[in-house]
Chain A
Amino acid sequence: MSDRGDSCVSSLVFLLFCASSILGSAGLLQEPSPQRYFSALEAGRASLAFFTPQVSPGAQPFLEQIESSAEVLQDYGISVVKVNCPKEDVSRYCGKENALRKAYLFRGNILIREFPTDALFDVNSIVANVLFALLFNEVKYVETVADLQNMENVLKGKSNMVFAYVPATGTAEHRAVMEAAFVYGTIHQFVLTTEAALLKATGDDDPDESSAWLLFCHCQRATDPAQPCRRTALGHPLTLLNIHRHLKLMGAPLVTEVAEDPEKVSTVHLQLGLPLVFILSQKETYEADRRTAEFVAWQLLGKAGVALLSRDLVDLNVLHRSNVALKTPDEGIPIQYLVLEDTDEVITLVEDKNKVKQIQEEEEEEEEDEDEKENNNQDIQDDQVVEAISRDKKRELPLEQVLVLTEETFHSSLSGSPRTVVLFYASWEAVSLVVLRSYSEVAHHLKGTPGVLLSRVNCWDWPGICTQENVTQFPTIKIYQKGEQSVTYDGMWGTEELTSFILLSRVSCPLKLATMEEAEGYLRGEFPSELSSHHHPSLLGVFSTATSEAREAFEEAGNILSGHVKMGMYLEDDALALSHKYSVSPPALLLTRSRGQSVEGITLSKQSVQDMVQMIRYELLDIFPEITVQNLPRYLQLTKPFLILFTDGDISQVESKEMLKLPKGSPQQAFVACWLNLKKTPVGYGILRTYFATVPSLPVLLWVNLHVGGQVFKFPPEQSITEVNILSWLEKLQAGLETPSSTLSEEDWKPPLPAYDFLQMMDTAMPELPLHSSHHPGDMPAQQPPKIPGGDTAVQEEPSQQTMSGKVGSPGRDLCGTAPRMAAREKQGKRHSEL
């Protein structure tokens, strides 16, 4: 039980009684004598009293139960009082021996009921019976079918009825119904029975008499006196939370009309963890759609919400044929748009979803019980990088090849070697430690490579150097050319990429080639010799002496791309001859993608450095690349949809040939045609599973709108992958004639788990802190400790105390503990489903 809600009432009761009473166990009040008790009773207030002689002769279990129910009853404004009987007292309540074995319920000083102790065997029975006695107006007890029908007829057109069957009174179910009646009794008529015969009359053919049952009867909208009210059964066990949920659902509008983006729509149903079905409507068919929606809504009442969405008002990026959408309460699952034939399909869809969900929830609940004990997972590392590093921290890194630099040695080392690579890192920072590991591998690869010195600076030890070298983030890798300016590495933090960068940056970029032989050798990948063992595309800029502007831009671009691209430059007199050989004229680029491939000639038309860099990057992209973890970003930058073939192993010759035709045939700007080798990039399985739940048969060709809308379309597996088939499929896609197999989640990246709420802890522990005032009056539901009247007046003058005095003064205060508690429980329930 939450203490938070109780304290409001307890403080109130405390204020009323504190002059004379002594606080017993939580919530239980004590009175020294019956006289004191009766004189303190207040008109309209209920209290449950039991009388005990000074020395109690047994009856202990009963007392214990009463004491433990005191707290609960206080939420309902009922004080539980233990009245001590002085020895000499022989009045009505103290005198008789059997009176001592009873509990008495008073409202004001009027005795409402006396309970024998055997009716109060546990907290449930005490709460149920006491509330039952107090709410005799709000909860009607019926015994016969006729009674029930009378009741229904009276209510028709006026208000709704909640009809509950409980096998016996004093049970947990009975208590739940009574507690619900306490809150909703003024809104709905509650009817209770323990007669199994009534169960049959309500339409259930084979009722299970041993379990409780609750029906919501929609009598308010019933117009035909001859027809019984529509009924919706609560399909879950009778707990306060379930009843509360059910009543909230019944209270929600049958069909919600929506005129905004369905992603943004939220209704009671979604908040309570139920799906929301959208009926997509158009102006022409609006009335018919509305009737359909209402019909579906009645069928789904209590299982899902129904909303009517006008397509004319909202610009939806979905198929025109789609007529139904399903939004699930789980965050991150995108809305499903469907083309359904009749209403039954809608209902089946929801019910199947619910079944799956129920199973999951049941499993989850088991887990959550453990979770609760674990006090959430907040303190468990959920950062894969940090966790991987801390699991690896005991391993000693092979860093013999990497020189450690200090403030003293930094400058001397830089000037002592023609080329020094420096890794700036922080020894406590996980990402830079990951890079340090890759760096040690680089050092291993480059062992013995002349002219390269690998070193590192721990910025946690030497912040001075890092500041001086303008290193503000970790990790940073800089390559210092002897005593001169440095280049900052801006590529992938991987061993391969870094090694290649260091090797490439040994050669000046662009490299000036002196002779025709060198130029040809360069294009073949044989020159310069230090790079001959590495496979980089060779890019050669050919300039006539007249084209100095383009040449300068090319040189500048070379500076920017240094380390990433192998660039050469030829500007001798016979440049014209060289370029003509590849049927271009200077200024031009000659490109060999890989050794042995033919040389492509590209005319240079762009003159600005930025354009040149862009162009070179673009030209270096493959036409039909194999997508890998490392190269994806390069293709992502094109911001085009992906036409991607997932294969298990190498791509077959046939498919490759067909696919290669595509980019050539269609305007190249339209999409990125590529393939993914699941053997080499197994994370591709993760992609397929997210799209299809299961891995479809391979190879599979997909169209993925990565940048707009996020739809995923699957090429029909029965068709063979040929250029013609693909193109006609793509046409259909563009025309909106295909249904997406999946849509990428639009979910934002929210905090994975809550943080410790220290502010709240401080408020709770030190409520006297006047800290909470201006902007957070709502944050503090009834947390004020009981105040002794005439106590610290200075404190009471604080503005923050207004919340409390406001509550004390308001009418209907008896409920003030209940509402926040209900809300709290509801919230808890929601959190469960999220977890």
Chain B
Amino acid sequence: LGLALCAGNLCALSGAAFLYHDYCVLGAGPAGLQAAYFLQRAGRDYVVFERSHAPGSFFALYPRHRKLISINKQYTGKSNSEFNLRHDWNSLLSHDRRLLFRRYSRDFFPDADAMVRYLEDFASLLELRVQYNTAIIHVTLERNGQAWNGHYFLLTDQDRKNYKCSSLLVATGTWVPNVVNFPGSEHVEGYETVSTNPEDFAGQTVLILGRGNSAFETAENILGVTNFIHMVSRSRVRLSWATHYVGDLRAINNGLLDTYQLKSLDGLLEGDLEDLAIIKDKKGKLHVTLRFYLENRNISAGIDSITLPQDELDNFATRAPYDRVIRCLGWKFDFSIYNRSLRMMPGKGNIKKYPQIKPSYESRGTRGLFVLGTASHSVDFRKSAGGFIHGFRYTTRAVHRLLENRHHGVPWPCTVYPITQLTNSIIKRVNEASGLYQMFSVLADIILLRENATAFEYLEEYPVGVLAELEMQTGRKAPSGLFVIIMEYGRNFSGADKDVFYYNRAVGEAQHAWQSNFLHPVIYYYKCLPTEREMSLRPPEWPLPRPDAIHHIVEDFLTDWTAPNAHILPLRRFLENCLSTDLRSFFAESCFLFAFTRQKLPPFCQQGYVRMQGLVGSEGLRRHAVQAGLLQDYTLTDFSGDTSPASHDRSQDQLLKDQVIPLRPLQHLVNAKDE
């Protein structure tokens, strides 16, 4: 009887043959290993499944011409390791300094083999638990009220071995090549298999379908030996230096643009690939025509019976026959392994190659399923760096922090500071934080003010899209308002057709900071946490809803926002006005005076001097402050005493004004730079 019930697959599914882990990670690529690293450090029960025998199998094959286009900067002139990550696009996050990518390659654009070696080391040095040669071919759900998310994930590998997990982290990337089907598409070679030896293309005429980095990389490789190369794609070329999006065409690959514009036979064409048709003639040459001409015709009848566009339009652009047609159309996510109950749906429009996920990187269809790495790029496609190592290493950490809070009661890590450190903590982060910098407009630092605003909690790199859920997602409370620190480009600056080199493109003056074009820090202030509704009603292109106040730190040529007057002072004024307090620092002598003449003390004196940590300063500094009119020198005063407190204040103002004079020429300098 028992046997009758236990039939076929059902038996395997309900049997005791499940290997259980809290977390299952699919894929041992950069994102999978990054996730494994954080799980390992937190002491979680996890396993990574990798279908290949080694990590990073995608990089073992791609890019075909082996040159990574993520930069590997050896020198920045700074020793700040966090800052240097801003210019290291290949390393994963770890505490191990050996695992910095610059130790694996000295090339600015490194070879893909270095990445493979790096990932191998990352997995082995950190002793990550990766199960190789395990291809998960099916994922389904098992309802269970006891499970973290109301269900378990049941995984089946190629050997019909079963695994059971509470949380599933999908880091499989996008590896299924995009193909188009049109008449004659069987004559098209794929990027994944095409020869990378230029000699094979000598004297040939080549048509490339696609206009991404892989297409241009392919063209670049054979540019010198072909007769000419034409490229066709639906959309116009998007240059990454115009769009500030690293996924668009990078300058390192764009040699063909040069020869196209210089009329050196190579060329670009726009057209819908679905309308295309390719016909092979008797000599093996490939002719481009349109599907339209082929309709209701029998192709097998031979080329002679088919009308070609040039028969009617004798200057048709692609009338010359090609020797080869190569398809370089990118990749998409592998949706095939998920049971329908998981509702893994492709996104809409230009993100259909990615699964639908929330801004928290959790699947829209299944609770407890998180998408990491390249496949999670729908959140910031064509905006930020979430589809690339230098972006998703941070979003993976953010997901890990969300999970720690959700399942293990570990709230989002934060540091508590006294309010006097508010300006400093922001300045420190905007100057060195790499996650804010790489994942601009996606990850944000959050400052949660405590009651009375005498102290605050600082949370790093929170996904700004789920700001409304902050209290639930982080386990932290926002009782008295919050600041959100985020990096942004100017709203109308970048775009595929924008001139990003126009005159006056840089703003130099702090008072015009909101018009800054290049990446710069922006601070949003909310008196209370925005609601879901406010988040959903935010204007397009805005990462956040309308704040109660906003501050832009003016863009900086060196991305060094530590200038006392241009960067820190306006920020302090902003914070002061949001909190309605005085955040200046004072020497002990000033605090002493305030202690005797005022019933209340400024926060700096309250939290420093009164607690016996006054800033005594040196005589020289005191003199400077006196000269600046910001400190009264009582040793020199006449004792006749005809000065009232009011006029004493005014004399300070007077001194303040004198100080304006040396500042003026500087102001002009800044203007001149702009004009």
In the assembled complex, A120 has its CB within 8 A of some CB on chain B:
no
**CA gap between A521 and B592 in the complex, in Å:** 37
- Which residues of chain A come closer than 8 Å to B630, judged between CB atoms? 381-384, 387-388
Cβ-neighbour of A759 out of B79, B82, B550, B657 (below 8 A): B550
Question: A473-B424, A686-B632, A771-B539 given as contacts; is B565 within 8 A of A492 (CB)?
Answer: no
Contact of B614 among A387, A406, A629, A758 (CB under 8 A): A629
Which residues on B sit within 8 Å (CB–CB) of A472?
415, 417, 421
Interface with B: A553-561, A603-611, A688-696, which one? Answer: A688-696
Does B621 have its Cβ within 8 Å of any Cβ on chain A?
yes
User: Is residue A184 contacting chain B, with contact meaning CB distance below 8 A?
Assistant: no
| Any B CB within 8 A of the CB of A316 | no
Residues of A within 8 A of B78 (CB): 461
Cβ of B81 and Cβ of A630 under 8 Å apart?
no
B570 touching A388, Cβ below 8 Å:
no
Task: Say yes or no for A684: interface residue by CB 8 A criterion.
Answer: yes
A492 partner residues in chain B, CB cutoff 8 A: 588, 612-614, 616
* B513 contacts chain A at the CB level, 8 A cutoff: yes
Pick the residue among B82, B581, B632, B633 that contacts A750 (CB under 8 A).
B581
Alpha-carbon gap, A216 to B564, bound state (A): 53
Selected contact of B612 from candidates A430, A633, A683, A745, CB within 8 Å:
A633
* Distance (whole angstroms) from the CB of A16 to the closest CB of chain B: 31
User: Does the CB pair B592–A632 fall under 8 Å?
Assistant: yes
CB A383 to nearest CB in B, in angstroms, measures: 4
Cα separation A687 to B598 with both chains bound (whole Å): 10
Question: Do A704 and B514 have beta carbons less than 8 Å apart?
Answer: no
B539 touches A769 (CB 8 A): yes
Chain A contacts with B in 636-687, Cβ cutoff 8 A = 636-637, 681-687
Give every chain A residue within 8 A of B624 (Cβ-Cβ).
387-389, 391-392
Contact assessment for B621 and A392 in the assembled complex, using a CB-CB cutoff below 8 Å: yes
Q: Which of A380, A381, A756 contacts B574 (CB 8 A)?
A: A756
Q: How far is the CA of A755 from the CA of B577 in the complex (A)?
A: 7
Mark interface residues in B400-436 (1 if CB within 8 Å of A CB, else 0).
Answer: 0000000000000001011001001001100110000
Q: Cβ of B81 and Cβ of A464 under 8 Å apart? A: yes
Evaluate contact between A749 and B581: CB separation under 8 angstroms: yes
B595–A379 touching, CB < 8 Å:
no
A-side contacts of B597, CB under 8 Å: 686-687, 690-691, 744-745
What residues of A have a CB within 8 angstroms of the CB of B428 in the complex?
A: 426, 460
Interface contact A754-B577, CB-CB below 8 Å: yes
Docked pose: A636 CA to B428 CA in angstroms: 33
Find out whether the CB atom of A463 lies under 8 angstroms from the CB atom of B82.
yes
| Cβ contacts under 8 Å, B539 to chain A | 769-771
Q: Please report the C-alpha to C-alpha distance between residue A426 and residue B630 in the assembled complex, in whole angstroms.
A: 23
Q: Could you say which residues of chain A place their CB within 8 Å of the CB of B80? A: 460-463
Contact with A along B621-644 (1 / 0, CB 8 A): 110110110111111010101111
Chain B 81-103 interface mask (CB, 8 Å, partner A; 1/0): 11000000000000000000000
Chain A neighbourhood of B573, CB < 8 A: 378, 751, 753-756
Q: How far is B632's CA from A165's CA once the two chains are assembled, in angstroms?
A: 50
Residues on the A chain within 8 Å of B82, using CB: 463-464
Q: Is A431 in contact with B602, judged by CB distance below 8 angstroms?
A: no
Closest A residue by C-beta to B561: A428
Interface: A355 (CB within 8 A): no
Count B-side interface residues using an 8 Å CB cutoff: 99
Partner of B588, one of A630, A689, A710: A630
The residue in chain B whose Cβ has the minimal distance to the Cβ of A427 is: B562
Our pick among A407, A435, A463, A751 for the contact of B580 (Cβ within 8 Å) is A751
Does the CB pair A773–B537 fall under 8 Å?
Answer: yes
A761 at the interface (CB under 8 A from B): yes
A374–B625 Cα distance when bound, in Å, is 22
Contact A379 B593 (CB under 8 A): no
Contact between B614 and A773 (Cβ–Cβ < 8 Å)? Answer: no
- A60: Cβ under 8 A from any B Cβ: no
CB distance from A470 to the nearest CB of B (A): 10
Among residues 355 to 375 in chain A, which have CB atoms less than 8 Å away from a CB atom of chain B? 360, 363, 367, 370, 374-375
What string of 1s and 0s marks CB contacts (under 8 Å) between A470-500 and chain B? 0011100000000000000011111111000
Residues of the A chain whose Cβ atoms lie less than 8 Å from the Cβ of B431: 428, 460
Q: Which of A222-252 contact B (CB under 8 A)?
A: none
* Alpha-carbon distance A770/B540, docked complex (angstroms): 10
> Which residues of chain B from 238 to 292 have a CB within 8 Å of any chain A CB?
none
* Alpha-carbon distance A381/B666, docked complex (angstroms): 14
Bound state CA distance, A474 and B417, in angstroms? 11
CB < 8 Å: which of A462, A464, A637, A751 contacts B576? A751
How far apart are the CA atoms of A756 and B507 in the complex, in Å? 15
- Cα-based distance from A395 to B624 in the complex (angstroms): 12
Query: Which residue in A388, A490, A632 is a CB contact (below 8 Å) of B617?
Result: A388
Neighbouring A residues of B550 by C-beta, 8 Å? 758-759, 762
Quote the shortest CB–CB distance from B562 to chain A (angstroms). 4
Contact B634 A684 (CB under 8 A): yes
Tell me the complex Cα distance, A190–B478, Å: 56
- Asked if A385 is at the interface (CB within 8 A of a chain B CB), the reply is yes
Expressed in whole angstroms, the Cα–Cα distance for A390 and B628 within the complex equals: 11
| Cα of A771 to Cα of B631 in the assembled complex, Å | 43
Within 8 A of B (CB), among A722-763: 744-759, 761-762
Cα distance A375–B511 when bound, in Å?
11
With A374-B660, A634-B612 already in contact, the answer to whether A384 and B577 are too (CB < 8 A) is no
Within the complex, what minimum Cβ distance (angstroms) separates A352 from chain B? 13
Complex contact B598–A385 (CB within 8 A): no
Of B345-353, B461-469, B603-611, the one touching chain A: B603-611
Q: Which residues of B contact A749 (CB under 8 A)?
A: 581-582, 600-603
Q: Given the interface contacts A745-B598, A772-B546, does A438 sit within 8 Å of B617 by beta carbon?
A: yes
Residue of B nearest to A387 (CB): B628
Say whether B599 faces chain A, with CB atoms less than 8 Å apart: yes
**Distance of B97 from chain A, by nearest CB (Å):** 8
Chain B residues within 8 Å of A434, by CB: 587, 615, 617-618, 621
B582 close to A384 (CB less than 8 A): no
* C-alpha spacing A473/B422, complex, angstroms: 10
Are A437 and B595 neighbours in the complex by a CB distance under 8 Å?
Answer: no
Across the interface, B570 reaches (CB within 8 A) one of A462, A690, A710, A756, namely A756
In the bound complex, CA of A706 to CA of B590 (Å)? 16
Q: Which of B558-585 contact A (CB under 8 A)?
A: 562, 564-565, 568-570, 572-574, 576-577, 580-582, 584-585
Interface membership of A202, Cβ < 8 A: no
Q: How far is the CB of A391 from chain B (nearest CB, A)?
A: 4
> Shortest CB–CB separation between residue A710 and chain B, in angstroms?
4
Measured between C-beta atoms, what is the minimum distance from A217 to chain B in Å? 37
Taking CB atoms, residues of chain B closer than 8 Å to A319 are none
Give the interface centre of B417, B546, B600 by most chain A CB atoms within 10 Å: B546
Query: B163: CB under 8 A from chain A?
Result: no
Contact B616 A383 (CB under 8 A): no
Q: Is the CB of A370 within 8 A of B657?
A: yes
**In the bound complex, CA of A379 to CA of B592 (Å):** 27
Of the candidates A380, A435, A683, A759, the one whose C-beta lies within 8 Å of that of B549 is A759
| Distance between Cα atoms of A704 and B539 in the complex (Å) | 56
Decide yes or no: A380 and B663 within 8 Å by CB, A431-B585, A629-B592, A689-B648 being known contacts. Answer: yes
Given A384-B584, A493-B615, the answer on whether A633 and B631 have CB atoms closer than 8 Å is: no
List 14 A–B pairs whose Cβ atoms lie within 8 Å, in order of A's numbering.
A382-B584, A390-B564, A426-B424, A426-B428, A430-B585, A460-B432, A493-B613, A497-B616, A633-B611, A683-B632, A689-B648, A748-B580, A756-B514, A756-B573
Query: B interface vs A, CB < 8 Å?
Result: 78-82, 415, 417-418, 421, 424, 427-428, 431-432, 510-511, 513-514, 534, 537, 539, 542, 546-547, 549-552, 562, 564-565, 568-570, 572-574, 576-577, 580-582, 584-590, 592-593, 595-603, 609-618, 620-622, 624-625, 627-628, 630-635, 637, 639, 641-646, 648, 650, 653, 656-657, 659-660, 663
- Seed contacts A490-B611, A684-B634; 8 additional CB < 8 Å A-B pairs: A367-B653, A391-B627, A426-B424, A496-B616, A629-B616, A690-B593, A752-B582, A752-B584
The 10 closest A-B pairs by CB, nearest first: A494-B616, A694-B641, A428-B562, A751-B576, A384-B630, A749-B582, A682-B634, A755-B573, A388-B624, A758-B514
